[in-house]
Amino acid sequence: MITLHSFGPGFGLPDPSPFCIKAEILLQMSGLPFQRVTGNMRSAPKGKLPMIVDDGATIPDSSFIRFHLESAHGIDFDTGLTPEQRGIAWAVEKMLEEQLYWMVVHERWIDSGNFDRGPRHFFKAIPAPLRPLIIAMVKRKVRNNLDGQGTGRHSAEERLALTRRAYAAIAAILGERQYLLGDTPCGADAVLGAFTMSALSPVFDSAIRGVVESHPNLVAYEARIRARFFPEAAAVKAAA
């Protein structure tokens, strides 16, 4: 059985990390039996989660988890799609992971209120005397990563403009379809579903959430993804 190493529920989501949510959706789409365990980034090969362990092989990184499922188990997550549609799906996936991800990081880690609502909880296990030092060190690393990638150099207005353009493009591609490119989910739906769920987390004071909520088709899409892949979380959200 495949073992998925992830963080576990947080921020009103199946996982605080959209990449861990993506990996779980991919595993559900594959139809392969799997179990979830709480992972440890210090023992992960790339120092990040998610990772899977499959028949003794350790596979880190959500994209390489997908590649492994495709090559080792003969899964085609884009079955039925034309070459053009496969290209669109991959482009959407990478826009989410390589641009919008950094908007999420900035919103959660740099805004002090959002940091207190979310990421600060990651440090609870650290002894209180050391906690402020570790938090300052990690936040400095996050800020340096954001500056190196470029998002950290943009103003709030510029980040919002990029976020609006990206989600407008995704909403236009989705249109009135059930899923990104048809009536059944493709590989990119694992990513779009994960990022849309993350964007709509009620925990944060979020300009990103406002952008997503301005597209009714994305809000309805998120509800379908949640109901299909995380019905317990969908029931909790509906009750709230």
pLDDT digits (tens, 9 = 90+) for 140-161: 999 999 999 999 999 999 999 9
Q: What is the mean pLDDT of residues 160-170?
A: 98
- Above 60 in pLDDT, residue 235? no
Residue whose tokens read 């080792």: 72
Domains identified in the chain and CATH numbers: 2-73 (3.40.30.10), 83-239 (1.20.1050.10)
Give residue 239's pLDDT: 47
| Rg, Å, the chain Cα set | 18
pLDDT of residue 233: 66
- For residue 208, the model assigns a pLDDT of 97
Mean model confidence pLDDT for the chain: 95
What is the SS3 string spanning 15-73? CCCHHHHHHHHHHHHHCCCEEEEECCHHHCCCCCCCEEEECCEEEECHHHHHHHHHHHH
* 55: alpha, beta or left? (left if phi > 0; alpha if psi -120 to 50): left
Residue 29: Cβ within 10 Å count: 20
Strands 51-54 and 2-6: antiparallel
Residue 234 reports pLDDT greater than 60:
no
Average pLDDT of the segment spanning 199-226: 97
Tens of pLDDT along 79-98?
Answer: 999 999 999 999 999 999 99
pLDDT higher at 65 or 238 = 65
* C-alpha to C-alpha distance for 109 and 19, rounded to whole angstroms: 17
Q: What are phi and psi of 73, to 5 degrees?
A: -120, 5
Residue 209, token pair as written in the block = 């959430």
- Tell me the two tokens of residue 56: 């003794």
Mean pLDDT of 61-75: 97
**Core vs surface per residue 149-173: b (16+ CB within 10 A) or e:** eebbebeeeebbebbbebbeebbeb
In degrees and rounded to multiples of 5, residue 13 shows phi and psi of: -125, 160
